[in-house]
Structures are given as structure tokens and as C-alpha cells.
């Protein structure tokens, strides 16, 4: 670690990355390589002796970039976005540069304290209830991903109830969510040893735009109680992965509360929008939640990974996840003067991730971030209108945030052929390299997902992408329809 070598090579890498962004629109958005492509391009073993930065950067250009799917491209509309930004990038650089590991307060006090402060800032921007702030029993913490966030609160909830009913009751614990809930909930259940037959993925349909009906929850809970089971965890979602459905938090929370069920709210994607007053309504009822999660690395200009989790009762987390080996003991921790985030998460080590979120908030400011969100939502509204004007297409669920769910309409009510055609359309569009979209199914319909949210996306990119979709659709219709 020579400071002058770092300076020289660091500058070179900055230029490499800046040049990448300058030319990002020239790459096929979804990588077009075949499985195993890299194996023959790289040697069988590590070199014995140093190679030069030029050699490595040449290889990045020639061998790595063709295999990259360009998430930061302005025509990346698949999944949900994973925002990168100048501020987020600077924060990542600084975090990597300082090279600290902030598991306990003492291992780098600024890492813990900045995280507490910045999570409070964001809680205020989201107008979260006071109990989520760090000054009382609650507080926020940066997890890697929403999967880890839901796992740690599930474990906290599990252990809280098992402490009172005894750990042999594990097989009686029941989890609730809609069938639209992210797959990370089932994975967390699997990890935590919750019996999968006790995971109630309650059916939703288009009548509620795929939101969970409180009556379904109440019915399921009552049935489980009658059967002697123990309802203990509910996940509500604000902005589901398939179609941005918003579960009715207040009504769900009421049922959770009266049955002593831990209520987790997953707003991984749509949480960002709720800093705008006009979208805050979608969080109404969050005051009944025990925990709340939003991914700053999705749609909030903060580089992956940076998943924000707030809890009302930090002790539920720490009772489940604390370790206290001799080699980590230290005075401030033993005296309970500080927060040790190692006990709020799965791993021991942790990066200084609050730096990038702090930089995003300071270098852009709340008002700019709101405009950023609003612009994407406007682009989605515009696209939704374009789709609805084309008789070959239909909007499948109304767009609430920045995702548009649509499909080519069935001909003669033939849903099977329609699904196949939409599947073929997806492949044709993505193989063009001009844009990348993804799909889902809703009530058996194969649906195309067009998620707007890359920082570089402008109106022209959406319009051009839509044209490509229309062209490919016309071609499919001309060549395949009877």
C-alpha cells in the first residue's frame, strides 16, 4: 500500500470508469455471451509474478465487459434498479480507502455513530414513527440486503416468542404474508427452521391489485389459533417485486397487534418514493409495524449494498444475535455505553457503508432526491399511457411507482398462446441488446416488467425502448399469428 502508487493507479481507474459511463450506451444492455465464455479466455492458474495495470485493464475491456449486464445503462429496465451515483461511488471509494471493519463501536466509533445519525435522518425524511429513532429503544442499521433484514427480524421474532413458550414450540410457529411477498421471506423461514407448511402465502388477485386482504389474514390467523398453532410473524409489502402492490398496512397491523404477531414492513423498492409527501400515504399504518426496511441501493442513488432496517425494539435483535467472546470485549461495550452493530446482523465484520448514504444525502439534498424519484414516476406514467394507446398491448396492473406491468393482448382469448408470445417478445427484446426488461406472472398471465429507475434514464430512452418493443411485437404478430 504505497500512497503514490495508489494515487497514480487510482487516477487511472477513475478515468477508466468515467470513460465507461461515457460509452455505456454502446454496449448491449444484457450481456450476450454464452455460458462458460470466460473459461477459455483466462489462464488456468494465478500468475507467479506481477502483471501490469495496463494488462489488467485491457482484460477488463476485452474479456470482462462483454460478460457484464449493464445495470447502469439508461435502458436497463429489468428487475428493480440498483442505483449507482457519483456521491455513492465517492462513498464506496472512501470506505474502501479507509479500510476499517466496524463490528463494535470501539473498532471505529465513527462508523457506528455516523450510521445511527444517517439512519435517523432518513427515518425523519420518511416520517417514520419516533420509536424507530435511535434515541429510545429503537434504531436503524444498515444490512447488506433486504434478505438479511428480513432474516434478522424473523430470528428476533422467533426467539422472542420461543423464550416465552419454549423452544420445542418451533414447529408450531406460523408466518403470514401475501403470495406476492419477495422470495427472501421463504428463504429466511427455511434458514430459521420455520416449518414450510406453516408459511401462509395468502392468495391475492387483481381485485385488490395483488394487495393482501386483511380478511384473508384474519381468517388464516383464526384458523391457525384454533388448530393450536402460534401465529408470530407477518410481512407486509409496500411495492411488491412483481407489480408494486401495496399491502394495507394499518388494517394488517391491527390484526398483528391484537395477536401479538411481529409485523415487518418490506418497502425495499418503493420506500424511496415515500420521502415525497404525495407518496407518503403508502406508508400509512407503518406506526403499527415492529420493523421497516428500505433499500437505499435500489432507487436512492446509493451504491449496492445498503439496505436500511429500522426496529422499535433493538433488544429483540440483540438478544437473538449477540455474541460476546473474550477477544472482542472492551470497556465501552461492557459498560453498555455504545451500540455494537455486530449484534444487529448476521456477520461479525461490517464495512463503513454509512459514508455513501451520508454523501448521497449531503451532495444531493432531500429536494433533489424527491425530484429524482418524481421524474422516474412521471416517465412510468408516460409509458403506461403509450402502452394503453397501443391495441396490441394492455396494462396489466395500474402503475403506482416507476414500474409498468403490461403484455401483448391475447387473440381470441387464447391465454396460452398469449403467454408464449409474450415470452418470445421478452427474449426478442432482450436479445436485441438495446434494452433489458424482465417478467413475472400475475394470475397465470405472463407479464412484462418495465422498471424505470436507472439514474441515466431520460424520456428519450423510455420512448426508444418502447419503440423497440413495438417493433418486435409487430414482427411476432406478423410471423406467428394465424
Which positions from 99 through 118 interact with its own copies, judged by CB under 8 A?
99-101, 105-111, 113-114, 117-118
**Among the listed residues 9, 390, 468, 470, the single contact to its own copies using CB under 8 A:** 9
Which residue, 318, 313, 311, 268, is CA-closest to 291?
Answer: 311
Beta-bridged to residue 312, according to DSSP, are none
Q: How near is the Cβ of 330 to its own copies at its closest, in Å?
A: 8
Residues 359-388 that bind its own copies (CB under 8 A): 359, 361-368
**Among the listed residues 182, 213, 264, 461, the single contact to its own copies using CB under 8 A:** 182
Contact 20, 70 (CB under 8 A): no
**Among the listed residues 127, 136, 193, 459, the single contact to its own copies using CB under 8 A:** 193
CB closer to its own copies, 208 vs 438: 438
Phi, psi angle pair for 434, to nearest 5°: -80, -25
Looking only at the bridges linking them, the beta strands covering 262-266 and 438-442 are unpaired
**Among the listed residues 28, 29, 75, 122, the single contact to its own copies using CB under 8 A:** 122
CB closer to its own copies, 33 vs 411: 33
Stretch touching its own copies by CB under 8 A, among 165-173, 253-261, 374-382, 461-469: 165-173
Q: How near is the Cβ of 399 to its own copies at its closest, in Å?
A: 16
**Among the listed residues 164, 207, 228, 331, the single contact to its own copies using CB under 8 A:** 331
Which residue, 209, 211, 231, is CA-closest to 221?
Answer: 231
- 48 belongs to the binding site for its own copies (CB under 8 A): yes
Residues 12-41 that bind its own copies (CB under 8 A): 13-22, 30-31, 33, 35-39
# chain residues binding its own copies, by CB under 8 A? 152
- 351 belongs to the binding site for its own copies (CB under 8 A): yes
CB closer to its own copies, 194 vs 238: 194
Q: Which residue is listed with cell 411485437? A: 473
Residues 216-235 that bind its own copies (CB under 8 A): none
Instruction: Tell me 63's DSSP state.
Output: I
DSSP for 217-286 reads HHHHHHHHHHTT-EEEEEEEEBS-TTT--B--HHHHHHHHHHTT-EEEEE-TTGGGGGGSGGGGGGGTTG
Q: Is the dihedral of CA 168, 169, 172, 176 positive or negative?
A: negative
Give me 46's grid cell: 494465478
**Among the listed residues 55, 222, 334, 480, the single contact to its own copies using CB under 8 A:** 55
- 455 belongs to the binding site for its own copies (CB under 8 A): yes
- 54 belongs to the binding site for its own copies (CB under 8 A): no
Give me 79's grid cell: 428487475
For 326-345, b where at least 16 C-beta lie within 10 A, e where not — what string?
A: eeeeeeebeeeebbbbbbbb
- For residue 191, give the 3-state DSSP assignment: helix
**Among the listed residues 42, 225, 459, 481, the single contact to its own copies using CB under 8 A:** 42
Amino acid at each position: 500500500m504505497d500512497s503514490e502508487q495508489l494515487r497514480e493507479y487510482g487516477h487511472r481507474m477513475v478515468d477508466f470508469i468515467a470513460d465507461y459511463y461515457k460509452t455505456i450506451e454502446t454496449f448491449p444492455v444484457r450481456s450476450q455471451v454464452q455460458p462458460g465464455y470466460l473459461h477459455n479466455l483466462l489462464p488456468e492458474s494465478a500468475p507467479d509474478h506481477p502483471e501490469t495495470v495496463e494488462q489488467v485493464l485491457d482484460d477488463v475491456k476485452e474479456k470482462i465487459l462483454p460478460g457484464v449486464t449493464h445495470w447502469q445503462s439508461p435502458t436497463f429496465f429489468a428487475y428493480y434498479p440498483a442505483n449507482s451515483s457519483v456521491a455513492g461511488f465517492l462513498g464506496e471509494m472512501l470506505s474502501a480507502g479507509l479500510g476499517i471493519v466496524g463490528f463494535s463501536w470501539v473498532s471505529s466509533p465513527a462508523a457506528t455513530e455516523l450510521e445511527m445519525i444517517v439512519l435517523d435522518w432518513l427515518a425523519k425524511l420518511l416520517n417514520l414513527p419516533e420509536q424507530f429513532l435511535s434515541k429510545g429503544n429503537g434504531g436503524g442499521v444498515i444490512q447488506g440486503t433486504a434478505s438479511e433484514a428480513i432474516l434478522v427480524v424473523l430470528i428476533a421474532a422467533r426467539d422472542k416468542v420461543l423464550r416465552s413458550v419454549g423452544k420445542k414450540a418451533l414447529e408450531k410457529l406460523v408466518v403470514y404474508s401475501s403470495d406476492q411477498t419477495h422470495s427472501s421471506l421463504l428463504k429466511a423461514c427455511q434458514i430459521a427452521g420455520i416449518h414450510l407448511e406453516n408459511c401462509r402465502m395468502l392468495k391475492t388477485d387483481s381485485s385488490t391489485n395483488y394487495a393482501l386482504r386483511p380478511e384473508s389474514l384474519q381468517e388464516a390467523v383464526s384458523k391457525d389459533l384454533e388448530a393450536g398453532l402460534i401465529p408470530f410473524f407477518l410481512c407486509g409489502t409496500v411495492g411488491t417485486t412483481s407489480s408494486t402492490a401495496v399491502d394495507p398496512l394499518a388494517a394488517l397491523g391491527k390484526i398483528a397487534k391484537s395477536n401479538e404477531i411481529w409485523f415487518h414492513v418490506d418497502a425495499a423498492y418503493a420506500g424511496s418514493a415515500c420521502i415525497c409527501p404525495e407518496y407518503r400515504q403508502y406508508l400509512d399504518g407503518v406506526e403499527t409495524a415492529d420493523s421497516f426496511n428500505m433499500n437505499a441501493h435500489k432507487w436512492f442513488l446509493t451504491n449496492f449494498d445498503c439496505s436500511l432496517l429500522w426496529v422499535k425494539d433493538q433488544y429483540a435483535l440483540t438478544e437473538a444475535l449477540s455474541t460476546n467472546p473474550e477477544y472482542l470485549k472492551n470497556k465501552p461495550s461492557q459498560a453498555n455505553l455504545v451500540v455494537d452493530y455486530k449484534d444487529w446482523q448476521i456477520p461479525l465484520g461490517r464495512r463503513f457503508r454509512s459514508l455513501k448514504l451520508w454523501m448521497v444525502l449531503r451532495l444531493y439534498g432531500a429536494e433533489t432526491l424527491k425530484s429524482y424519484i418524481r421524474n422516474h414516476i412521471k416517465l412510468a406514467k408516460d409509458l403506461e399511457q403509450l402502452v394503453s394507446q397501443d391495441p396490441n398491448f394492455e396494462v396489466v396492473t395500474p402503475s403506482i411507482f416507476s414500474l409498468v406491468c403490461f403484455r401483448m393482448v391475447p387473440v381470441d382469448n387464447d391465454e396460452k398462446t398469449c403467454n408464449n408470445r409474450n415470452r418470445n417478445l421478452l427474449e426478442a427484446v432482450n436479445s436485441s441488446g438495446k434494452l433489458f426488461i424482465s417478467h413475472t406472472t400475475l394470475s397465470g398471465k405472463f407479464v412484462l416488467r418495465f422498471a424505470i429507475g436507472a439514474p441515466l434514464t431520460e424520456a428519450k430512452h423510455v420512448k426508444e425502448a418502447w419503440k423497440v418493443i413495438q417493433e418486435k411485437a409487430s414482427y411476432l404478430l406478423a410471423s406467428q399469428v394465424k
